[in-house]
Amino acid sequence: MKQEILVIDDNFDIRNLISEILKDKNYSVREAANFDQAVFEINSKLPDIAVIDVKLDKGDKDGIDLLKKIKNISDLVPVIMISGHANVEMAVESLKLGAYEFITKPFAPEQLLNFIRRGLENIKLKKENVQLENKSFHSFDFIGESHQLIKIKKLISKLSSTDSRILISGPTGSGKELLARKIHKNSQRKKEPFVVLNGALLQPDNYEKEFFGSENKDGSISYGFLEKAKRGTLLIDEVSEIPLDTQAKILRVLMDQKFKRINGKEDIVVNVRIVSSTSKDLKNEIAIGNFREDLYHRLNVVPIEIPSLSLRPTDIPLLIKYFQKKISEINGIPEIEIDVNNDLLYSYNWPGNVRELRNLVERISILSQNENKSNIGRLLNEILSKNASEDFQNANVSLTYPLKQARENFEKTYLLTQLKKNKGNISKTAEFIGMERSALHRKLKSLGIKGIN
């Protein structure tokens, strides 16, 4: 199906010229010669993209009003504004109102076609991103009330009005991409694309083409991630995996705020927010020569570290209840109830972090339909006991330690589990285990156990 372009210009010659250029490239074209005709065409059917002259003869309304009208109906339609009397203020106003590009007359046909292609690619990407987010994330929120999560949430709020580069570090499955999406949704770029470049999945010899794009021999353009994320946010996931040669070129882009496509001659101005993530220690990668220190400092303007789930056990019951509800909504199945006081939930190491917990809840939700609470508990125990933490197993089943050491191992594991269940509350823990509060304090100190957050 042909992509449809609406051309609005009160000058017949210019309107006809633009239409012919577009028809030659096999686009479907509708035309409007004045404001009223344009409104009729817009109300009849929104185009895939619109080309609008800023100044329209007759009447008080002009192209800026048409831009506002289109954006009020759908923010997804790219609008290219054209003008023979352009100035900086006019261009800035158009872009602020959501115009995709601003062109001054006279312009080369290839310049217009280039903007048309990029605009259509942009809208395609936006739609794909919406579908991907609905499919993969289902609007999952960033859940937690531990002091680490509260600190991160406050930082997200502070970052909403800035374009600072951010480096998110944390173990696999801790929610780095989810956090990046949350930052994007709370930013001034929230209506623009959120694009993910996964450094671990790209072939080293294909990295630069994917990042910068290329101009092909047949005149077509393969857009890179930098242009796909135009005006939006680009998440460079697992940034540590970028080849050193490409790191140097990315550093130059961050310094100059422009780049050239492979085989291209034209400078492309960068207008994108860069968020990076890593599950590796980048300082260690720098020390062993795998990552550039100068690039690290450019990316690490605002560092955010997400702790592993085992270090924020107070968030486990909140996450379980949240995932129970969301998985029920997503899959259209009754919500099951998992006992959040089960000791195994707190003694388990959670190597896959929040992702592993979410998968566990989903698995139990599907397998436990029409089961009673005791059967749900047995299934939970069965799954977790197979992967119980090494410390927990050693404390309970190892016969290689002297009695004193074996007792200390058990006591330490037992008390840590109870503290996690009670969110670090000493009084509640003491009451549950039948011990005086002061005696529990002494025991924790003797075992080297510090507070649980």
pLDDT at 139: 54
Secondary element (H or E) of residue 440: helix 437-447
Query: Which residue spans within 199-336 are E strands per DSSP?
Result: 213-215, 221-223, 233-237, 258-259, 268-269, 273-278, 302-305
Sign of CA pseudo-dihedral 152, 153, 157, 163? positive
What is the fold, at CATH topology level, of the domain defined by 4-113? Rossmann fold (3.40.50)
- Print burial letters for 409-435: b (CB count within 10 Å at least 16), e (below 16): bbbbbbbbbbbbbbbbebeebbeeeee
pLDDT at 160: 84
Q: 236, 229 in Cβ contact below 8 A?
A: no
The CATH 1.10.10 domain(s) of the chain lie at 391-447
The CATH 3.40.50.300 domain(s) of the chain lie at 147-307
User: Which pTM does this prediction carry?
Assistant: 0.63
The tens-digit pLDDT sequence of the chain (453 residues) is 688 999 999 889 999 999 999 999 999 999 999 888 999 999 888 899 999 998 886 666 788 889 988 988 887 889 999 988 767 777 788 888 888 888 888 888 998 999 998 888 877 777 766 555 544 444 578 899 999 999 999 999 899 889 999 999 999 999 999 999 999 999 999 888 899 998 877 777 788 888 999 988 877 778 889 988 988 999 999 999 998 999 999 999 999 999 999 998 888 888 999 999 999 999 999 999 999 999 999 999 999 999 999 899 999 999 999 999 988 888 888 999 899 988 889 888 898 899 999 999 998 998 888 888 888 888 888 888 765 544 444 444 444 456 566 666 667 777 777 777 777 788 888 787 777 887 787 778 877 777 666
Sign of CA pseudo-dihedral 181, 183, 186, 192? negative
pLDDT at 344: 87
The domain defined by 391-447 carries CATH number 1.10.10: yes
Half-sphere exposure of 288 (CA within 13 A, CB side): 7
Strands 213-215 and 221-223, by their bridges, are antiparallel
pLDDT at 398: 46
Q: 49, 3 in Cβ contact below 8 A?
A: yes
Secondary element (H or E) of residue 318: helix 316-331
The CATH 3.40.50.2300 domain(s) of the chain lie at 4-113
Which of the four CATH numbers 1.10.510.10, 3.40.50.620, 1.10.540.10, 1.10.8.60 does domain 310-388 have?
Answer: 1.10.8.60
- Burial class (CB within 10 angstroms; exposed 0-12, middle 13-18, buried 19+) of 280: middle
The CATH 1.10.8.60 domain(s) of the chain lie at 310-388
pLDDT at 422: 75
Sign of CA pseudo-dihedral 266, 276, 78, 48? positive
Which of the four CATH numbers 3.40.50.300, 3.40.710.10, 3.30.300.20, 3.30.1360.120 does domain 147-307 have?
Answer: 3.40.50.300
